[in-house]
Amino acid sequence: MSKTYLVTRPEHDTTTHYLSYWNKEMINAAQKKGMKVLDLNREDANRQKFESMITKMSPNLVVLNGHGDDNTVTGHNNQPLVKAGENENLLKSKIVYALSCRSAKNLGPKSIEAGAISYTGFDDDFIFSYEPENISRPLKDETAKLFLEPSNLFVDSLIKCNTVDESRKRTENLLRKNLTKSLGSTTVDASLARFLWWDLKHFVSHGNMDATL
């Protein structure tokens, strides 16, 4: 039986624009693996559609892209999609990845308490840099790639049936590699290393580390 992958891709500012475009690669990878993809893009990344889709389709993997805080991940125009104390039970029996600031600090553990299989994300701000001249073509942005390729690797690894723990370690290893690259390169800004280190330090997983799709 094929697995189902739900992804939210708001696009209302530069940050969400980048995350949305970089997630297109993972949508393609999932479809090639025969997964059913539920893509809530732009205005469709709203709470009503998110709650309806996750309830009706019961996806195995939920990937949340958007702004966040300790208790929340938002969708289009910063509308809260998942909030601790309100609807984290929607994530029950799901493997969850949130590319957002801070949500793994409290929403992550609360989701596990509510029955989520695993919740991976950042327990502080997620930081990435980009090249202003490439805003219209995010996938050509080599600076953003240092941060967003490791993020994609986590999802890609899950899609290829690796465990949550294996997928997290692969992401951490690529972040370390990119950090070293930024320190030793004459073409990459060395100041990026502190942001890569920050993301590496705050990238965490909760729940069942041996889980697979």
Q: Where in the chain are the domains?
A: 4-207
Q: Write down the pLDDT at residue 1.
A: 74
Task: For residue 191, give both structure tokens.
Answer: 């100041």
Residue closest to 122 by CA, chosen among 64, 51, 35, 45: 64
Task: For residue 155, give both structure tokens.
Answer: 């999802």
User: Taking residues 66-83, what's their average pLDDT?
Assistant: 98
Q: What angle do CA 10, 13, 17 make, to 5 degrees?
A: 55
Task: For residue 174, give both structure tokens.
Answer: 């690529």
**What rounded mean pLDDT belongs to the chain?**
96
Q: Write down the pLDDT at residue 190.
A: 76
DSSP symbol at 7:
E
CB atoms within 10 A of CB 197: 15
Which pLDDT tens digit goes with each residue over 96-118? 999 999 999 999 999 999 999 99
Cα separation, 33 vs 119, in Å, equals: 22
Pairing of strands 72-74, 80-83: antiparallel
Cα separation, 173 vs 13, in Å, equals: 29
Q: Write down the pLDDT at residue 6.
A: 98
Pairing of strands 68-69, 72-74: antiparallel
Band of residue 187 on the pLDDT scale cut at 50, 70, 90: low
Architecture of domain 4-207: 3-Layer(aba) Sandwich (3.40)
Taking the alpha carbons at both ends of the chain, their separation in whole angstroms is 11
Q: Write down the pLDDT at residue 110.
A: 98
Q: Is the pLDDT of residue 23 over 70?
A: yes
Positions of E strands within the chain: 4-9, 36-41, 61-65, 68-69, 72-74, 80-83, 95-99, 118-122, 203-207
Q: Is 100 helix (H, G, I), strand (E, B) or coil?
A: coil
The number of angstroms, rounded, from the C-alpha of 41 to the middle of its chain's C-alpha atoms is 14
Which pLDDT tens digit goes with each residue over 115-166? 999 999 999 999 999 999 999 999 999 999 999 999 999 999 999 999 999 9
